[in-house]
A and B are shown apart, each in its own frame.
Chain A
Amino acid sequence: MSLPKHNPLLRVLYMSLVLFMFAFMMAVIRMYWPDDSQVSEYHDYSAYENSLEASQPNGAVGIGNESLSDAQNTQNNKLPKVLTKITSNEPELFRRPRFTVTGIERRLNLAVNMQAQLEGLWTDFYNLDTQQYLPGLSRSNKVYLVYKSYDHDTQTIEVLIGYQYAMQKLSGQVKSVELLKGKYIKRDSVLATWDDPQDLALKYQLDYEVYEVDEYFNISSQRAFLSINNGAY
């Protein structure tokens, strides 16, 4: 069996294009191959809460002795529950794009009840009048917590909570931070990973967590992205 007569050069070109197409498509598929964590094990809120109670953070920064339920009792019952334990040790590398997060920022003290401070920050952000301070933005189902400017002497850190949103002119208490494009390691919690980095080549500059939330800020998934030094892995 033989195919119809073809121009040999065009045939080679055609086959090269096919091979290039497959290589290109593989590269597209691999480029953003995601983590496996839709975190379905936390999708059910009660299961999520139980998992926290069953395994309080071991060595998580500043919150090791705090009970989540105690912290919750001091807050509105719509408050989010922030996961602070590490569930995976396998380094997963991700190339994350550059984008801006806009919201409110606080300097938090790592030496005192961090869980309560974080939940206070969430409450303030929940109560923020987005119409006034973030005009044109409807509430997103993804909330970012950006950790930066760690001060070793005072044991404090700046945390900005906000949405992926860029605006020209900031007003009032609203601030922006630009997250840098680059290689990140995926974990569950920034603070827990900072506290127990194992052998990860962390930059300790600007790391963030992404939360998927509903309209009441109940969290359905949480993941952390920590920037790593170039050349690592």
Chain B
Amino acid sequence: MDELMYYLVTPVNLASITDYLEYMSIDIYDWTLVFALLFLTVELTDDALTRRFSGERFFETLSSLVTQIPFYFTEVVVFSVAVYGYFTIYEFIPWKMPVNTMGFLLVLLMADFTYYVEHLCLHKVRLFWLAHSVHHSSGVMNTATAFRFSLFDPVVSATFHLPLLLLGFHPMFIFAAEILIQAYQFWIHNEMIGKLGPLEWVMNTPSHHRVHHGSDQEYIDKNYGGILIIWDRLFGTFAKEDKIPTYGLATPMISKNPITVQFHEFYKIFRDIKKAKGLGEVMGYILRPPGWQPEHKKLKE
């Protein structure tokens, strides 16, 4: 088995832990994509055998996969800029965290918390919701939903991880942790796996994440965790899955058009801002949670 693994993973001479993390995280991410395609194949076959398969579900799945194309291009550009920027800034930071295994485990834990905070902000700040709403706009919950991203998502992620850099963590540690947490997300977007016993207490699971994608009143803005669900339990944003959620946005987005999928929230915010009275309302529409309205508008309704 060791021999097989030896040839499967990148056969390079890894002289330091940062080299290792670079290759390992990229390997992990590549392999995750391979497994994700396998999962999706099983899910679609299951749809066909249980007569759940429909044009609606197929095109929704296809639409999710297509979002990867613009996402990929911005990811390449943003990630390149982030790598250059992070390494440049790191040189100027006078304090440095230890570059060793414990250091990486610490940054992984902190990156998971960062993911929680970032995810919370993606839902609570409409500017960020412009991007993240793309991920939530599917009415189908399968592995393809995990691929459903906005082309602006990479920008948000690179920004939110800056505090870890300022704490003195090595950029390669931060990128590797970010990639591992992102890779973890691929297996929790499905309806094939039920509850997982004691794992549900600590880990983010398919059940917890189905809740996160629910548009039901009791499920909205719940379960933001990345790998661990403890952050939600600690900060009161946890909800247990008591019924199968209704997936998608509170106001469903039914289009399968890739351009509509990417920009439907942009149209809505533009419409709101156009009607805004003064800078305060404009800022409210941009920085307050989705659905926020000025008082005078609420009274009218």
Show the binding face of A for B, using Cβ within 8 Å. Answer: 1-7, 10-11, 13-15, 17-18, 21, 24-25, 27-29, 31-38, 40, 95-97, 99, 142, 164, 181, 210, 212, 221, 223
Chain B residues, CB < 8 A from A95: 2, 6
| Chain B nearest CB, measured from A21 CB (Å) | 5
Contact indicator B12/A14 (Cβ below 8 Å): no
Chain B contacts with A in 1-54, Cβ cutoff 8 A? 1-2, 5-6, 8-9, 11-20, 23-24, 27-28, 31-32, 35, 38-39, 42-43, 45-46, 49-50, 52
Contact indicator B38/A17 (Cβ below 8 Å): yes
Chain A residues, CB < 8 A from B263: none
Residue B159 at the chain A interface, CB threshold 8 Å = no
Q: Which of A3, A17, A33, A34 contacts B35 (CB 8 A)?
A: A17
Chain A residues, CB < 8 A from B38: 17
Cα–Cα distance between A21 and B187 once the two chains are bound (Å): 9
Cα–Cα distance between A37 and B19 once the two chains are bound (Å): 12
Cα–Cα distance between A45 and B26 once the two chains are bound (Å): 32
Chain B contacts with A in 191-245, Cβ cutoff 8 A? 191-194, 241-244
Given contacts A10-B42, A14-B43, A24-B31, whether A1 and B193 have CB atoms under 8 Å apart is no
Residue B100 at the chain A interface, CB threshold 8 Å = yes
Contact indicator B50/A5 (Cβ below 8 Å): yes
Contact indicator A28/B6 (Cβ below 8 Å): no
Chain A residues, CB < 8 A from B43: 14
Contact indicator A15/B192 (Cβ below 8 Å): yes
Cα–Cα distance between A27 and B96 once the two chains are bound (Å): 30
Contact indicator B193/A15 (Cβ below 8 Å): yes
Residue B252 at the chain A interface, CB threshold 8 Å = no
Cα–Cα distance between A29 and B9 once the two chains are bound (Å): 10
Q: A97-B6, A212-B15 are in contact. List 10 more A-B contacts (CB 8 A).
A: A3-B194, A5-B50, A13-B42, A21-B32, A24-B31, A27-B5, A28-B24, A29-B28, A32-B9, A35-B17
Contact indicator B194/A34 (Cβ below 8 Å): no
Chain B residues, CB < 8 A from A37: 100
Q: Which of A14, A15, A40, A97 contacts B98 (CB 8 A)?
A: A40
In the complex, which residue of chain B has the Cβ closest to the Cβ of A35?
B17
Chain B residues, CB < 8 A from A212: 15-16
Cα–Cα distance between A150 and B2 once the two chains are bound (Å): 31
Q: Which of B9, B17, B42, B45 contacts A34 (CB 8 A)?
A: B17
26 contacts between A and B (CB under 8 A): A1-B242, A1-B243, A4-B191, A6-B46, A7-B45, A14-B39, A14-B46, A14-B190, A21-B187, A25-B31, A27-B1, A28-B5, A28-B31, A29-B28, A31-B6, A32-B9, A32-B14, A32-B20, A33-B20, A37-B100, A40-B98, A97-B13, A99-B13, A142-B13, A142-B15, A223-B15
